[in-house]
Amino acid sequence: MLCRTAAALSTGCAGLALLTWILVASDFSHPATGALLYLIVIVLLSITGNIAAGLGLAIIATFCLDYFFTEPRFSFQINATEDVIAVAAFALTAVAIAVLAGRARRSGETRALKDRLQLIIDTIPAMVWSISPNGSSDFLNKRFRDYTGLSLDDIRDWARADALHRPWMNALHPDDRSMDDWSAALAPGEPFEKEARLRQFDGEYRRFLLRFVPLRDEWGRIVEWYAKSTDIEDLRRAEEELRRRDARLRDAQMALAHANRVTTTGQLAASIAHEVSQPIAAALTNANAARRWLGAAPPDLEEVGQALDRIIRDGIRASDVIGRIRALVRKVPPRHDQLDINEVTREVIALTRGELRSSGASLQTKLADGLPLIPGDRIQLQQVMLNLILNALEAMNGSSQTARELLIGTEQDGSGSVLVAVKDSGPGLKPESRDRLFEAFYTTKPNGMGMGLSICRSIIEAHGGRVWVTADQPHGATFRFTLPQQQEAAC
């Protein structure tokens, strides 16, 4: 500031000196002309420079006028009273002109700054407005007015008509205008955010994120609230579209998993027939026995009762099998239950018993006691085990290994997750196929679709777990999957 003043003053002094030199050199000594020309220099400097420089130059110019143009010339002495008055009048005029010109320049600058700020506020890609503590809006930027189609007058009219309410709220969707909500948001006097729909000039509503910040005076009272809104309609629509796509994807995955369950269950036809026919055959045999005991002389009712108890047990067993099959092929949304993995495993084994028999494989189970319950969908997990067991049997059927041994085990791993392993004594895996086994449409079977294991992986991952396979020595393969007790990913 001081620097700029000094620079402006030296420029003014140089102008003054040049002017004086020209006038003195050309022997031009008329004091009024000199004074007028000096005033012009002062005006120019005050307009372009600043007031301090203008005032400084006014004082120097007064001395110059006295020295060069007032009799006796080339001396600061003044003899005539009228000359004293003239010099004093010049000094006063010069000072006044410097001050006025400076002010004129400053107000010009202020206006320019105001215009510029207005331009910035109107141009920034957001709607900005201010609200007084009583709720009236005294400022709305151009974007707000353009968007809503409202004029400043409209807002002022609202304010007059509805002084106790918050007139700018008329631009909000009726459902977003709850006075209780807004009062609650404004009451703490802290900056806050709110999502609301704002009405566009053509009647369309778009969603906005509104941010409010209070301005406080030196006593901490809220003078005004400043509000800014950002259009989030497109963002919200994109999010909704993404959600819809997610839902469609989930539906497709569910349909695929269901198709796989139906196919897999179809492969169990022999097992199912066995599992159902066995208790039915037993029930019929028990019924024959009961009839005999009834026909005996005397009838042995105790034996009849025992036979009937066995019939009931057989009936329950057959209907349990049918219930499990029905659950497997039913199309239901995934559930979240607390599951005992050993129970889930035993149910699957019961369904595959016939398959095990017909493939001549022996089954060994190692189900650990005291496993924690895990959250999950019983049917989906049974589907995974069913796929793994049938794959293992198929691998062993194609194998020249004489001993066909299937081992199903459960245990708790180091991280507290439950680990399920299905180990077969088949020919094992080629390294190149091991890495791709879980990919969709990858299959090593002549009639395989390549979906089974990929569906298993999506199911296990949806349970927050992991599934992998290792080749065993000298032959065989073990598929393992984990199920965490706490689930992060949604199923």
Helix, strand, coil share (%) of the chain residues, nearest 5: 55, 15, 25
- Does 363 help bind other proteins (rule: CB under 8 A)? yes
Nearer to other proteins, 258 or 404 (CB): 404
Residues in 286-305 at the binding interface with other proteins, rule: CB under 8 A: 286, 288-290, 292-293, 296, 303
- Does 358 help bind other proteins (rule: CB under 8 A)? yes
Are 57 and 51 in contact by the 8 Å Cβ rule? The answer is no
Query: What is the C-alpha separation between 83 and 73, in angstroms, rounded?
Result: 12
- Per the document, the length of the chain is 491
**Ordered alpha helix ranges (H), 124-232:** 142-148, 152-161, 179-186
Are 406 and 393 in contact by the 8 Å Cβ rule? The answer is yes
Are 386 and 264 in contact by the 8 Å Cβ rule? The answer is yes
Residue with tokens 């709110």: 194
- Does 270 help bind other proteins (rule: CB under 8 A)? yes
Nearer to other proteins, 295 or 333 (CB): 295
Other CB atoms within 10 Å distance of the CB of residue 243: 10
**Of 14-22, 72-80, 250-258, 349-357, which segment contacts other proteins by CB under 8 A?**
349-357
**What residue type is 66 in one-letter code?**
D
- Tell me how far, at minimum, the Cβ of 317 lies from other proteins, in Å: 6
Nearer to other proteins, 58 or 268 (CB): 268
Question: For other proteins, which residue of 51, 282, 449, 491 counts as binding (CB under 8 A)?
Answer: 282
Q: 196: which residues sit within 8 A by CB, 6+ positions away?
A: 172, 173, 176, 207, 208, 210
Other CB atoms within 10 Å distance of the CB of residue 417: 19
Residues in 414-443 at the binding interface with other proteins, rule: CB under 8 A: none
Q: C-alpha distances in angstroms, 474 versus 122, 394, 395, 427, 448?
A: 77, 19, 15, 9, 26
Instruction: Give the x/- contact pattern for other proteins in 210-239, rule: CB under 8 A.
Output: ------------------------------
Question: For other proteins, which residue of 113, 284, 489, 490 counts as binding (CB under 8 A)?
Answer: 284
**Of 132-140, 201-209, 272-280, 368-376, which segment contacts other proteins by CB under 8 A?**
272-280
Size of the site for other proteins (CB under 8 A): 32
**Of 18-26, 161-169, 236-244, 356-364, which segment contacts other proteins by CB under 8 A?**
356-364
- Does 346 help bind other proteins (rule: CB under 8 A)? no
Nearer to other proteins, 45 or 307 (CB): 307
Are 367 and 418 in contact by the 8 Å Cβ rule? The answer is no
- Tell me how far, at minimum, the Cβ of 407 lies from other proteins, in Å: 14
Residues in 444-463 at the binding interface with other proteins, rule: CB under 8 A: none
- Tell me how far, at minimum, the Cβ of 347 lies from other proteins, in Å: 17
- Tell me how far, at minimum, the Cβ of 388 lies from other proteins, in Å: 20
Beta bridge partners of 469: 479
Query: What is the C-alpha separation between 244 and 276, in angstroms, rounded?
Result: 43
Nearer to other proteins, 230 or 359 (CB): 359
Helix (H) or strand (E) holding 193: strand 192-199
- Tell me how far, at minimum, the Cβ of 398 lies from other proteins, in Å: 21
Query: What is the C-alpha separation between 149 and 166, in angstroms, rounded?
Result: 18
Tokens of 379: 């049917």
Are 225 and 129 in contact by the 8 Å Cβ rule? The answer is no
- Does 405 help bind other proteins (rule: CB under 8 A)? no
Nearer to other proteins, 236 or 292 (CB): 292
- Tell me how far, at minimum, the Cβ of 390 lies from other proteins, in Å: 18
Tokens of 422: 């299905």
- Tell me how far, at minimum, the Cβ of 362 lies from other proteins, in Å: 6
Residues that bind other proteins (CB under 8 A): 270, 273-274, 277-286, 288-290, 292-293, 296, 303, 306-307, 310, 313-314, 317, 354, 356-358, 362-363
